[in-house]
Copies of this chain bind each other. A is one copy, B any other.
Amino acid sequence: MLEEVLSDLGRAFAAGLLTGGAFVAMRGAALRSVNQYLHPSWWRGRRDSIHAERRLAAIVIVDVVGYSRLMNADEEGTHARLQNYRRTVIEPKIHEHRGRIVKNTGDGALIEFGSAVDAVRCALEMQQTMMVRNAGVQQTRRMDLRMAIGLGDVIVEPDDIYGHAVNLVARIEGLAGAGDICVSAEIWKLVRGTIAANFVDLGEAMLKNIADPVHVFAISPDF
């Protein structure tokens, strides 16, 4: 454990010396593990509370359908287009609806919202915007998003969230096709009285590594 800390600190220090400002932008596991030792709240947290910090969250996973295929066909163009969508669609919409990007993955993001209603509204608006952007774009260059939303009582660490629900949402996303938003029944129950949208009951699905069947709904804009 001490060795691990020292090695992480060493790596962080070296990186800091070598790259200056870039240290701030360092991402991934190394930084996370360094952060948790460096951050005063880590020590404080361990002393003060018996239990991990948790919070209720609507967890959204979004990614690009057929990203590998698109990258294969046009690496730089695909990358540039995804970065453009991130900056002009995904990030502004998340901000507008009070969400937080927990982390960017290669072809998408893990996002958390403090409200299920905010999460679903954001997903619907992102898909609507993508639909408009994609109108007229030729099939081979077209970038479609798929999304999944689930509810969790997640364990909160400074730079990440953990919990069964994160895995569950990743599995639900596997059911979504281009332009789709798939949500768990828990999310559906929380938003059905508030959001005017089309809800389609997809029934229960057995998902890999998830013990109980999961009841899933598809949500689409109500034009």
A114 to B114: give the CA distance in the assembly, Å. Answer: 9
Contacting pair A118 B151 (CB below 8 A): no
Question: Chain B nearest CB: distance from A168 CB in Å?
Answer: 11
Q: Does A54 contact B (CB under 8 A)?
A: yes
Question: Chain B nearest CB: distance from A95 CB in Å?
Answer: 12
Contacting pair B121 A151 (CB below 8 A): no
Question: Chain B nearest CB: distance from A154 CB in Å?
Answer: 8
A57 (CB) vs chain B CBs: closest residue: B56
Contacting pair B153 A194 (CB below 8 A): yes
A118 to B155: give the CA distance in the assembly, Å. Answer: 11
Interface size class of chain A, counting residues whose CB lies under 8 Å from the partner chain: 20 to 34
Q: Given the complex, which residues of B lie within 8 Å of A152, measured CB to CB?
A: 190
A152 to B53: give the CA distance in the assembly, Å. Answer: 20
Interface centre among A57, A153, A186 (most CB of B within 10 A): A153
Q: Does A116 contact B (CB under 8 A)?
A: yes
A165 (CB) vs chain B CBs: closest residue: B190
Q: Does A39 contact B (CB under 8 A)?
A: no
Contacting pair B55 A114 (CB below 8 A): yes
Interface centre among A54, A56, A191, A194 (most CB of B within 10 A): A56
Q: Does A51 contact B (CB under 8 A)?
A: yes
Q: Given the complex, which residues of B lie within 8 Å of A191, measured CB to CB?
A: 153
Known contacts A51-B121, A153-B190, A153-B191: does B164 contact A116 (CB below 8 Å)?
A: no
A133 to B164: give the CA distance in the assembly, Å. Answer: 37
Q: Which chain A residues numbered 2 to 50 have a C-beta less than 8 Å away from chain B?
A: none
A interface with B by C-beta (< 8 Å): 51, 53-58, 97-98, 114-118, 121, 151-153, 164, 186, 189-191, 193-194
Q: List 21 A-B contacts (CB under 8 A).
A: A51-B97, A51-B117, A51-B118, A53-B98, A54-B114, A54-B117, A54-B118, A55-B114, A55-B115, A56-B57, A56-B58, A56-B114, A56-B151, A56-B190, A115-B153, A116-B153, A117-B153, A153-B190, A153-B191, A153-B194, A186-B189
What 6 A-B pairs have minimum CB-CB distances, sorted nearest first?
A56-B56, A54-B115, A55-B114, A153-B190, A116-B153, A54-B117
